[in-house]
Amino acid sequence: MFASSVRWRAIAALIGLVLVFVATAPSSPALAVQGGSGNQRPLSDWLSQQGTTSVFFPPVPDLLGWANGNDPPIQPPRFALADYAGVFNAYIKGQNPSIDLGTTVSGTVTERPLADGRALVHVNIHTTRALTWVYDISASFPGELILGSSVEDVLAGHTPALGETHLDVIFTNTEPGAALPNLVQAIGNLCFDPLFCPPAGVEVVSLRFSAQVTGELHAALGVPEGTLGRFMTSQTAFDVTACTLGDPSKQVGPPDTADCFAVETMFIQVIGH
């Protein structure tokens, strides 16, 4: 669905991650915080900046995608989108007010000043009834749908797969109190256009994501259409922006499959008929 292979390479540098505990204390002298427990900002400061671009699956707003692109055949290569910021649900309601998936997002945004004048921001959010769908990307991108329904499918009347997600991301911002970034841009995933590179001073330091979703499976998975299934993923990355923008020292894994993420897990299981 991408307009060019450059866009796919940009997202391929990003997709895939694993759930590991991420310490919030910075380890670099450049990220030395200036005391205190941090300033709490409204969650809306962050949520309002998500989904502000529509590049990868227009006209649907962009959120981060998740995959396990470097570990077949242990796990078949798959790609998932999940509404961790409530953006997909808001878009659906905007197109058809009678459809509301009941997505809720809660969490915290903590900001601390850094010695270099920037800010260290920690966003931790929990989302329920998050619209999620999964593709098999073995042969092409985005490939065949194997679980759930996309935003456009839901608008066409198909049954959504809904689940629970957790996102924990730590990033530097230009200065305390500054507008918070679009995460897709902050991670460097839109930098195929220099106008959409991360602003100077914005860098994602660590990111962890997990999801557990229940929904209908599709025949492309090798099961009867409509079989009930469960999708689970847990993912983590460090120094994500630097890695996405081409620093090979930030990549992990064997040289022939190295990417920006320490571990990647993604599973689908049949749980009923």
The predicted-structure confidence for 151-193, as pLDDT tens digits, reads as follows 999 999 999 999 999 999 999 999 999 999 999 999 998 988 8
Nearest of 73, 82, 107, 24 to residue 213 by alpha carbon: 82
pLDDT at 216 over 90: yes
167 found inside a domain:
yes
Per-residue pLDDT, averaged over 6-27, amounts to: 37
Instruction: Work out the pLDDT band at 253, boundaries 50, 70, 90.
Output: low
Q: By residue range, what is the domain housing residue 210?
A: 5-19+39-221+231-270
Q: Tokens 């998740």 belong to which residue?
A: 66
Please write the tens of the pLDDT for every residue from 221-249: 999 999 999 999 999 998 888 888 877 77
34 found inside a domain:
no
Instruction: Work out the pLDDT band at 3, boundaries 50, 70, 90.
Output: very low
How far, in Å, CA of 149 to CA of 162, rounded?
Answer: 10
CA distances from 73 to 69, 78, 220 (A): 10, 11, 17
239 found inside a domain:
yes
pLDDT of residue 30: 55
65 found inside a domain:
yes
pLDDT of residue 240: 86
Overall domain count for the chain: 1
pTM, whole model, 2 decimals?
Answer: 0.85
Q: Which two tokens stand for residue 228?
A: 């009930």
Per-residue pLDDT, averaged over 12-35, amounts to: 43
How far, in Å, CA of 100 to CA of 251, rounded?
Answer: 40
More confident residue, 20 or 93: 93
130 found inside a domain:
yes
Q: What is the mean pLDDT of the chain?
A: 85
Quick one: what percent of the chain has pLDDT higher than 90? 67
Q: Which helix (H) or strand (E) holds 214?
A: strand 203-216
28 found inside a domain:
no
Nearest of 258, 204, 248, 209 to residue 66 by alpha carbon: 209
Q: Which helix (H) or strand (E) holds 196?
A: none
- Give all strands (DSSP E) within 57-161, no chain letters: 65-67, 78-82, 104-113, 119-136, 144-148
pLDDT at 23 over 70: no
pLDDT at 210 over 70: yes
